[in-house]
Amino acid sequence: MGKDAIQILKERAEAAAHVEDQVAIATVPLSLFLRGKQHYGLRLGEVEGAGRLRQLSHVPGAPPWMVGAVQHRGSIITLMDLAPFWGVELKGLADLPTFVVVGDGRSQIGILVEELVGVHEVDAAIQPYRGDERVGISEVAHWDEQPVLVLSAARLLQDGRLKSG
């Protein structure tokens, strides 16, 4: 192989690497949902499923955040409402029609949402979250010039209320 060819290949390789770096740094894909007129984002690896809420079974003696349970792919999944779980009031729909199942590889839980927005590339310049304490939220991203609260399923599932005790 001649020197020119090697040079060309090298330049191509550098260019390709540069483009990848730019993409990786520029955006991050998040699964977005809407709750209380606020966008939330989940890293794709933590999303284990989603569904329309057609049949909800209320759990006797459950705390307010444990809205009910559904069968999802053969397993019983708890459906939680983030508002009472965080102890805050969120505006928006009272009857949440959709759920997204998140997991950390060991356990999983369903989160009731108003709307699944879909997977979108968000601004990768993610900032630390500095608002009221909300379990699982530690970062803020931006999509379509709106703030997106990044919810970590791993941190959420570490909460003592979600363990067998």
Comparing CA positions, the residue from 154, 161, 160, 140 lying closest to residue 48 is: 154
| Choice from 57, 87, 127, 146 touching another protein (CB under 8 A) | 57
Strand order in the sheet with 98-103: 47-52, 98-103, 108-113, 75-80, 66-72
Token pair for 111: 């989160």
Give the type of residue at 136: G
The Cα 47–Cα 45 span in angstroms is 6
Interaction residues for another protein, span 101-120 (CB under 8 A)? 107-109
Kindly tell me which residue out of 31, 78, 98, 152 binds another protein, with binding defined by CB under 8 A.
Answer: 78
Q: Does 75 bind another protein (CB under 8 A)?
A: yes
> Per DSSP, what are the bridge partners of residue 38?
35
Closest contact distance (angstroms) between CB of 136 and another protein is 14
Instruction: Check residue 72 for interaction with another protein (CB under 8 A).
Output: yes
Minimum CB distance to another protein, residue 82 (Å): 14
Is 84 one of the binding residues for another protein (CB under 8 A)? no
Identify the residue among 91, 118, 128, 164 touching another protein (CB under 8 A): 164
CB of 73 vs another protein, minimal distance in Å? 5
163 binds another protein (CB under 8 A): yes
Q: Quick check: 73 binds another protein (CB under 8 A)?
A: yes
State yes or no: residue 77 binds another protein (CB under 8 A).
Answer: yes
- The one-letter amino acid at 10: K
For residue 128, state whether it binds another protein (rule: CB under 8 A): no
For 24-29, the CB contacts below 8 A with 24+ separation are 24/124, 25/124, 26/123, 26/124, 27/121, 27/122, 27/123, 27/124, 28/121, 28/122, 28/124, 28/126, 28/141, 29/119, 29/120, 29/121, 29/122
Residues interacting with another protein, by CB under 8 A? 51, 54-55, 57-62, 66, 69-78, 107-109, 161-165
